[in-house]
A and B are shown apart, each in its own frame.
Chain A
Amino acid sequence: ELKVEQNPLFLSMQEGKNYTIYCNYSTTSDRLYWYRQDPGKSLESLFVLLSNGAVKQEGRLMASLDTKARLSTLHITAAVHDLSATYFCAGRSSNFGNEKLTFGTGTRLTIIP
């Protein structure tokens, strides 16, 4: 059974600083998703990582995947207040025809001016 762990669970950082959120998963997962959730809102898809060494970037966010280490990272560069949200990673538990996702517990990111 796939298990997904994120750390840290809470992160406060100053504007302009860099930081990384880590996502470890327990068994083979051939896809890794990152989502963003604002308080009381739904989840917004950020990135899908499909292969070892995959790197995706959007603005100040960059996600990467190392399937051998079973690790994905979400790197925040020069943080701004608008990035305050909870970030989730999710891996895919795949059997034939099964697209079940397993989510981590989330990292609540607060950017302090």
Chain B
Amino acid sequence: DGGITQSPKYLFRKEGQNVTLSCEQNLNHDAMYWYRQDPGQGLRLIYYSQIVNDFQKGDIAEGYSVSREKKESFPLTVTSAQKNPTAFYLCASSIDRGAKNIQYFGAGTRLSVL
């Protein structure tokens, strides 16, 4: 089945720790995105990548880092510099061309601070 896989589903971070959220897609999509969702709010873009080895900051990139070494993978690291990391993190991908260019989302990772 084609789709976007995020892992883990739940993640706990200790003070001062970096944690990495995984996002893998087998849709052969060019573009991938990371969003953060806080309770009762919309999605805010953290980082996005349109091609391998290239990525751009979104609206709230501070305290986060990403890499795009493979087309299928776009991991997000939440660093210790992110002081309020508790949120629901959603990864998405899109074909990045054509009229519709719908973003498809993974099931999400819920991050909490211990």
Contacts and interface: CB of A to CB of B under 8 A. Distances in A.
Interface of A: 4, 31, 33, 41-45, 48, 50, 88, 90, 97-106, 108
Contacts, number: 55
A90 B103 CA distance: 11
B99 interface: yes
User: Chain A's interface: helix, strand, loop or mixed, by majority?
Assistant: strand
Interface residues of B, number: 26
Given A97-B50, A101-B45, A33 B102 contact: yes
Contact of B96 (A41, A88, A90, A99): A99
Interface of B: 31, 33, 35, 40-45, 48, 50, 58, 90, 92, 94, 96, 99-108
Contacts of A88: 42-43
B45 A99 contact: no
Contacts of B43: 43, 88, 90, 103
